[in-house]
Amino acid sequence: MVRVITQDTYDEVVKENIEEFDMTPEEAIKEAVAQFEAQGVDLSNIIKDLALSSGENHLISVAVEKLKEISSKSEYDDNELLKELDILMAECKKDIAHRVRAGKEGAYGILIDLLESKLKLYKREQNSRNELLVTTILKSLTALMEMQPDLLDDKAMDIIKNILDSEENENVLVSTLQWISVCCLKHEMNRQGLTKDITNNLKELLKNKENKKLLSETLQVIRRLTLDDDIRVEFGKAHEHARDLGINLLDTLSELLDESNSPTIVCALLQTTAALLVRHELCARVRAALGPLLAAHYDDAHVAHHAARLITALAGNDDVKRELVKTGLVPIVVSLLRRHSSNPTTTASMLKCVSALCLREASHGRAFLEHGVADVVVECLNIHENVADVQKNGCWAVRNMVARYRDHNAKLRELGIEAVLQRAYDKFADQFGFDIKSALRDLDCDVKFDEQWKGRGVQMER
């Protein structure tokens, strides 16, 4: 069981080291950290670099207190507010301990109240000064709530909904979307509440085709709404979120894929589309022109990587998989695999794509082999012999291609595939040794499988 302490306990030990043992602040901190770590204490939520020489309070506590004083006044200097917000942001960006301290000091409630009042002012007077105040408060909330999304409450969700409903300013919308993104990480209830409220708003934001920054942040929020990373929840709704978002957004995403020329946006669109393909009917609805898209970005390894992941997701539907192959996708995939064979990440995703397209489809395996994929696969496995993902996906691709179509087994063996797979087995037997042996078996190579269970002839008692 992990042991924890409070910030006050840590502070007392550091001060004791200074006063009782005549240590410098740096020595006192170093000694206190070593002492607690030796006792197995988790110090991840403890601020270790206390400004002890400046008094009792840490800079972050002073900043929160000043923000509280400012917010309580009917009139105050905006420059003073911006200064304290900048200090708070800088402190929160240091580590989770500073953010926890700020949260305990009441920073969240102060920022929400300030945001609410400044939004009202901004609606009355839409000028650059008020815009700066609103965006700075939003950025402060984002910095404060990174990795502590529990702070989000119903009042904040209403503010988010109102901003997305009424605001058109790019900077305000981008800052709001960034705040939403940190609220969605590792917090299932936040995702459930936000998905219910803002799906239609996200669909409207996707219409900003020319605004790359706004579009990119919108796609990031969509992907984060489909996460399932909150270990405190036994059963999340990631599948339902992806399904509902897919029903509402896939057609729009497909249109954007057809029209976008930016590699960065294309990658984000491919990644987002793949995250939503959780049901067969959703796969069938995607009509992305993958062939022309890949041709347009042939030399971009990142686009190829995300396109391969999307194709792999689509291949989960057998009907869609057959349609993809009929459209002439096979030679494009082989060509891309050859073109980006030096990139381990893209190579691994392309090999997994080949594996998915050939699964349970003898004609697809024949098509890939007839288009010269065999020598490319062997080349990739030789180039990246120490990359586990490439080796694993490569052996899957080989196995699925030849499992139901073995006419090219002799050619594959001539290319040295047996030695390549044996070498992979020597390195990665503990991770995916059975998969490698399965590929060797389907290549008609000599392979010995270990018996997973052996009966010992012992009579069982009734």
Q: Give the tens place of pLDDT for each residue, 336-366.
A: 999 999 999 999 999 999 999 999 999 999 9
- pLDDT of amino acid 128: 93
Residue 117 lies inside a defined structural domain of this protein = no
Whole-angstrom distance, CA of residue 91 vs CA of residue 35:
25
Under a CB-based contact definition with an 8 Å cutoff, are residues 226 and 241 in contact? yes
In this structure, of 21-25, 35-39, 447-451, the range with the lowest mean pLDDT score is 447-451
- pLDDT of amino acid 287: 58
Whole-angstrom distance, CA of residue 338 vs CA of residue 168:
45
First CA to last CA across the chain, in angstroms? 42
Residue 324 lies inside a defined structural domain of this protein = yes
Beta strand extents in 303-385 (DSSP E only): none
- pLDDT of amino acid 288: 54
State pLDDT tens for residues 268-290. Answer: 999 999 999 988 888 877 755 67
Residue 358 lies inside a defined structural domain of this protein = yes
Comparing 19 with 460, which gets the higher pLDDT?
19
Our measurement of the distance from residue 87's CA atom to the centroid of its chain's CA atoms, rounded to an integer in Å, reads 29
* Residue type, position 145, single letter: M
pLDDT band at 206 (very low <50, low <70, confident <90, very high): very high
* Domain around 33: 1-56
Rounded mean pLDDT, 185-198: 95
Tell me the DSSP string of 62-94.
HHHHHHHHHHHSSS--HHHHHHHHHHHHHHHTT
- pLDDT of amino acid 57: 65
Which of 14, 34, 56 is a domain's end point? Answer: 56
Mean pLDDT of the chain, nearest integer: 90
For residue 359, what is the DSSP state? T
**Phi and psi of 95, rounded to 5°?**
-170, 175
Question: How many residues in the chain?
Answer: 462
Tokens of 47: 């601020």
Rounded mean pLDDT, 442-461: 75
**Does the pLDDT value for residue 55 go beyond 50?**
no
Whole-angstrom distance, CA of residue 164 vs CA of residue 180:
11
Q: How many domains does the chain have?
A: 2
Domain CATH for 364: 1.25.10.10
Rounded mean pLDDT, 388-401: 96
- pLDDT of amino acid 449: 73
105 three-class SS: coil
Residue 373 buriedness (CB in 10 A; 0-12 / 13-18 / 19+)? buried
- pLDDT of amino acid 50: 57
Distances (CA, A) of 351 to 281, 355, 387: 25, 6, 13
- pLDDT of amino acid 388: 96
Residue 298 lies inside a defined structural domain of this protein = no
pLDDT band at 28 (very low <50, low <70, confident <90, very high): confident
Give, for 207, the enclosing helix (H) or strand (E): none
Which of 56, 79, 97 is a domain's end point? Answer: 56
Residue 4 lies inside a defined structural domain of this protein = yes
pTM (whole model) above 0.75: yes
Comparing 310 with 58, which gets the higher pLDDT?
310
Rounded mean pLDDT, 64-82: 90
For residue 374, what is the DSSP state? H
Residue 146 lies inside a defined structural domain of this protein = no
pLDDT band at 48 (very low <50, low <70, confident <90, very high): confident
State pLDDT tens for residues 407-427. Answer: 889 989 999 999 999 999 999
What is the β-pairing status of strands 3-4 and 41-42?
parallel
Residue 331 lies inside a defined structural domain of this protein = yes
Residue 42 lies inside a defined structural domain of this protein = yes
- pLDDT of amino acid 237: 95
For residue 449, what is the DSSP state? P
